[in-house]
């Protein structure tokens, strides 16, 4: 299967500028695949901007596109917002930003973009997604962390990889918190989806998938969850191809 994917847990580390921790990896990925023009999908960004009262969701999308454009403006990568299915069908690279996964998936199904994007990426064009954008590279969005602010037509997503990603994976249970941990939530998912592997992708890490090989980017481990097994810590030195069925 032809795949060129960069699946990123998060856009921003605490105290850092937007996308700064992963910018060099994104630029290197784009140059590796000769990307000069990228199509950006902003639909997860339902509330971009610190002051949003009286503004529309289209304003939020526009701010989101401008934010991403500003990051890559000096690197020879032109970023434009998606406008139609035809845009997606002719794109040379697709970038999907983070935010609310339910809203992202709702819009992609409503606008008939889910299948168009999947088809184009499976033909080999590069795909970059962070947070929600990484989550929807999976068969479904069921391992998102987000609130269901809208109801998508389906929870099925791009199915670019055969496993699930939980972005922003956290080990800790915050002091005073009496609810479920992230691990508890994933174990619940595995009770109902016994044959699915879940990758807990910690912040400041990413997965790069090239055809039938996969590698972990970043200095932190990721955590693998499978039904009936104890979670396993995986580092960038480990062979990850088992995630792709090899």
Low-confidence stretches of the chain (pLDDT beneath 70): 50-54, 173-174, 176-179, 246
Phi, psi of 222 (to 5 degrees): -110, 165
Catalytic residues: 131, 146, 168
Domain ranges within the chain, ordered by starting residue:
4-161+202-216
Model-level pTM? 0.96
- The average confidence (pLDDT) of the chain is 94
pLDDT in tens, 106-124: 999 999 999 999 999 999 9
pLDDT at site 49? 77
pLDDT at site 171? 86
Torsion of CA 62, 55, 19, 15, to 10 degrees: 160
pLDDT at site 180? 80
pLDDT at site 50? 63
Fold of the domain built from segment(s) 4-161+202-216: Rossmann fold (3.40.50)
* Contact of 110 with 133, CB cutoff 8 Å: no
Give me the residue label for tokens 């480990």: 238
pLDDT at site 54? 62
């Amino acid at each position: 299967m032809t795949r060129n994917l960069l699946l990123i847990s998060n856009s921003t580390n605490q105290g850092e500028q937007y996308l700064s921790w992963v910018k060099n990896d994104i630029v290197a990925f784009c140059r590796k695949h000769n990307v000069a023009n990228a199509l950006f999908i902003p639909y997860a960004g339902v509330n971009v901007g610190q002051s949003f009262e009286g503004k529309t969701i289209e304003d939020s999308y526009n701010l989101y596109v401008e934010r991403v454009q500003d990051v890559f403006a000096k690197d020879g990568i032109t970023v434009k917002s998606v406008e139609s299915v035809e845009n997606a069908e002719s794109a040379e690279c697709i970038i999907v930003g983070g935010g609310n996964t339910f809203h992202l998936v709702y819009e992609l199904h409503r606008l008939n973009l889910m299948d168009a994007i999947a088809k184009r990426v499976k033909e080999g064009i590069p795909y970059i997604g962070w947070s929600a954008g990484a989550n929807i590279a999976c068969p479904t969005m069921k391992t998102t962390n987000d609130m269901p602010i809208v109801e998508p037509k389906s929870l099925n997503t791009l199915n670019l990889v055969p496993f699930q990603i939980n972005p922003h994976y956290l080990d800790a249970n915050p002091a005073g918190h009496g609810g479920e941990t992230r691990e508890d939530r994933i174990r619940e998912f595995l009770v109902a989806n016994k044959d699915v592997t879940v990758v807990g992708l910690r912040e400041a890490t990413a997965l790069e998938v090239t055809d039938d090989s996969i590698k972990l980017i970043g200095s932190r481990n990721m955590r693998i969850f499978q039904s009936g097994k104890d979670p396993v810590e995986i580092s960038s030195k480990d062979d990850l191809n088992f995630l792709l069925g090899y």
